[in-house]
Amino acid sequence: MWIEEMKAGEINIKISLLEYLVLKKGIDGIYINEFTNNNCGVRADLAVLNNQSLHAFEVKSDLDTCRRLSEQVRLYDLYFDRYVVVCTRKHLDNVTSIVRGTRSGVYLYEDGQLYVKRRGRHKLIANETILRSLLPSSLPKSNQGARVLLSRSLTKRYGENLKVIERIKVDRSATDQDILDLNPHNVRKRAFRNHLKKSDEAWMALANSNHRPNRPPC
């Protein structure tokens, strides 16, 4: 029950965040729910690739704690061009204190709305960092094209998420299903289920064709 409440609180904040970024601010790009990069061990509740710039958003609902926030912000500062902590009133003072002296922005979530409390600063991370820590090791490396490579890599992996953002624009609102569809793990599971379904249908069709009685010769 506690886990369900925690997830519900986080999803509600993410819905408001998506609507704020996509509908109010008009920020296009690839949105990734529960973004992870195994090369450097960094994760973000929501990441956005916008014009070859990588942004991170960390969500702190009422049921979350700020115990790990200092370390999270340290990693965000290394691997993201911009990062924002989105929190409820319960955590606002603590979050503001923790991120003081960093580039972090702070958004307050209250009564279904987002309020900008600290804008934060945008700073492009070095090409060397992108090449060393954010790209798959199998990709050919080019220091001058690091951001192009990063954009291509994320687009190839998460390009289907663009359809979710277009759906939000058409509907003029976001839903919990949109949040789930932006999660690469859920997308992979859905693709696997579709693959199994198609395989089952193919086998059933084959089985049915094998059981049809042979027509007598004319």
DSSP the chain: -HHHHHHHHHHHHHHHHHIIIIIIS---SEEEEEEEETTTTEEEEEEEEETTEEEEEEEE-TT---TTHHHHHHHHHHH-SEEEEEEEGGGHHHHHHHHTTSS-EEEEEETTEEEEEE-----PPPHHHIIIIIS-TTSPP-GGGHHHHHHHHHHHHHTTHHHHHHHHHHHTS--HHHHHHT-HHHHHHHHHHHHHHHHHHHHHHHHHHHTSPPPPP-
The predicted pLDDT at position 139 comes to 76
The predicted pLDDT at position 42 comes to 92
Domain ranges for the chain, please list them.
Answer: 2-184
The predicted pLDDT at position 203 comes to 72
The predicted pLDDT at position 3 comes to 45
Q: For domain 2-184, which CATH number applies: 3.10.20, 3.40.1000, 3.40.1350, 1.10.575?
A: 3.40.1350
The predicted pLDDT at position 190 comes to 62
Tell me the pLDDT of the chain (218 aa) as tens digits.
444 554 558 999 999 999 999 999 999 999 999 999 878 889 999 999 999 999 999 999 999 999 999 999 999 999 999 999 999 999 999 999 999 999 999 999 999 999 999 999 999 999 999 999 999 877 776 666 899 999 999 999 999 999 999 999 999 999 999 999 999 777 666 666 666 767 666 677 777 776 555 555 54
The predicted pLDDT at position 2 comes to 42
